[in-house]
Amino acid sequence: MPDPTVAPPLPHIAGDATALTAQQRELIGLAALLGREKFAPRAARWDREASFPFENFADLREAGLLGICVPKAHGGLGADFATYVMVAAELGRHCGSTALSFNMHVSSTMWSGFIADSLDMSVAERSDHERIRTIHFQRVVAEGKVYSQPFSEGGAAAAGKAPWGTLASRADDARGGYHVRGKKIFASLSGAADYYGVLCTLEDTVHGGGTLRDSIYLAVPADAPGVRITGEWDPLGMRGTVSRTLLLDDVWVPPEARLMPEGLYFQAAQRFPHMFATLSPTYMGIAQAAYDFTLAYLRGEVPGTPPVKRRMYPTKQVAVAEMRIKLEQTRALFLQTAREARVDPDKDARMRLLAAHYTIMENANDICRVAVRTCGGQAMLKTLPLERLYRDSRCGSLMLPWTAELCVDRLGRECLYEAGERDEAIES
Ligand SMILES: Cc1cc2nc3c(=O)[nH]c(=O)nc-3n(C[C@H](O)[C@H](O)[C@H](O)COP(=O)(O)OP(=O)(O)OC[C@H]3O[C@@H](n4cnc5c(N)ncnc54)[C@H](O)[C@@H]3O)c2cc1C
């Protein structure tokens, strides 16, 4: 018989725990522990100050989680896509900014890791990639270095509709490597990352250069001459990501800065669409957190608030039921698509992935909206986390390359057209 005076345990972020692997259970448990004991109590500070959660990254480093997607052969935890996104969702449940910033770091290791492994490369390219990624993975695993992923530029490139405006040209001296110049906006972890994983257009390739196919993904050291961070950071939500503007003024990087072989990013973007779906798990966690808070608040169990129960009102019960239904719909899509991540998913899986990403981003904000309305005025004071969850949740569907609008755009078109299909011109 459960003790009626004790709050029930928090529900599992990844649904049925028996469906998880041993590693998934262990790592989600670790994220939950860090989240509950360290990240949640600190979250208001990063939000208030719009400052980076350095302490949380120190904890992630100590727990070995910076290497979560570094292959085991390179000393990492070797987590697959599904495992990582479940862990990311659990982190997002306790501190959205930490989870979103952590994602920028982990994605860098995932792209060079199991995503690169699943793509076509020549034997020479694969062996060179293995040599180079060993350097990057060692930095993460042995030195605790942090990578970020600034690709947004304020034009059409981050939506995948134009080549990157940030340019790389080959250095023509004995050192080799590349010269990089350009500007990245919304560079999360500005001033906190040790390396910025910058997507650029390579100017001089065998077929001329300058196109989307010529994308190159380079790790630019934060302390390289020519790297500068500018701009204010005082946004609505996700304030701890510190996503300022990164200026790259003819920055030289060595050949070993390549996080992927030349041209491989384009192949990855075509063949491994789940690579763009790693932002939404954070928001899955936020949706869960808003639901958790609402339950605790209506039961009169939020620490620091009077033990006033509000759960007996039918309108509250209806609202919680609506939230739970939306949460379960969101979680179901999240888990299904997490487990479908692979190279060359079929069209159905691609469409489902866009639908899932859209659903998580939009539902997270909607669940937070209902939570604020249902809990009422006292619950949205700054002393409680709900108003932060509400603001953080608003950011998800704005994030390129898969904003809510662009998901709808692509879904509508691709559901109705097969590759290469065109309509006859309509005569007026
Ligand atoms: C908290 C936070 C952290 C972020 N961190 C990072 C990061 O670490 N790295 C990074 O690279 N970026 C990051 N971003 C940036 C983000 O991914 C977007 O690039 C940014 O929000 C786009 O803002 P914008 O006003 O320039 O969008 P715009 O490009 O002006 O787009 C505005 C809207 O128009 C629509 N749109 C855009 N292009 C098209 C098109 N071709 N066709 C139809 N509709 C279109 C989209 O729905 C979009 O929402 C972050 C954003 C936030 C909010």
The 10s digit of each residue's pLDDT in 198-225 is 999 999 766 667 889 999 999 999 999 9
Helices then strands, counting H and E runs in the chain, come out as 13, 7
Q: Is the pLDDT of residue 23 over 60?
A: yes
For residue 210, the model assigns a pLDDT of: 81
Q: Residue 167 Cα, ligand 1 centroid: separation in angstroms? A: 20
Ligand 1 centre to CA of 85 (Å) is 21
> Quick one: pLDDT at residue 15?
85
Give the pLDDT of residue 206.
Answer: 63
Residue % of the chain over a pLDDT of 90: 87
What is the average pLDDT across 255-262? 97
Ligand 1 binding pocket, CB closer than 6 Å: 104, 149-152, 154, 156, 158-159, 161, 186-188, 238, 241, 243, 395, 398-400, 403, 405-406, 409
- pLDDT at site 1: 56
Q: What pLDDT sits at residue 427?
A: 58
Give residue-wise pLDDT tens across range 330-389: 999 999 999 999 999 999 999 999 999 999 999 999 999 999 999 998 989 999 999 999
Confidence (pTM): 0.96
Burial class (CB in 10 A: 0-12, 13-18, 19+), 113: buried
Question: 138 near 219, Cβ under 8 Å?
Answer: no
Which ligand 1 atom is the nearest neighbour of the CA of 189? 8
Q: Which whole number is the average pLDDT over 216-245?
A: 98
Closest CA to 403 of 394, 392, 390: 394
User: How high is the pLDDT of residue 66?
Assistant: 98
Gap from CA of 360 to ligand 1 centroid (Å): 17
Q: Whose CA is nearest to atom 34 of ligand 1?
A: 405
Weakest-pLDDT range from 1-10, 209-218, 226-235, 378-387: 1-10
**Residue 12 confidence (pLDDT):** 82
> From residue 422, how far is each of 348, 413, 414, 426 by CA, in Å?
20, 11, 12, 12
Nearest to 287 by CA among 336, 330, 243, 239: 330
Q: What pLDDT score does 5 carry?
A: 53
pLDDT digits (tens, 9 = 90+) for 380-421: 999 999 999 999 999 999 999 999 999 999 999 999 999 889
What is the Å distance from ligand 1's center to 142 Cα?
34
Length of the chain: 428
Separation of 397 CA from ligand 1 center, angstroms? 9
The torsion angles phi and psi of 215, rounded to 5 degrees, stand at: -65, 140
Query: Residue 10 pLDDT more than 80?
Result: no
pLDDT tens, residue by residue, 265-307: 999 999 999 999 999 999 999 999 999 999 999 999 999 899 9
d(CA 198, CA 184): 8
- Asked if residue 9 has pLDDT above 80, the reply is no
Protein residue whose Cα sits closest to atom 16 of ligand 1? 399
Q: What percent of the chain is predicted at pLDDT more than 70?
A: 96
pLDDT at 160 > cutoff 80: yes
Using CA positions, which residue lies closest to atom 43 of ligand 1? 406
For the CA of 403, the nearest atom of ligand 1: 47
Arithmetic mean of pLDDT over the chain = 95
Output 81 or 155, whichever has higher pLDDT: 81
Whether 246 has a pLDDT exceeding 60, the answer reads: yes
- pLDDT the model gives residue 312: 97
The pLDDT tens digits for 100-124 are: 999 999 999 999 999 999 999 999 9
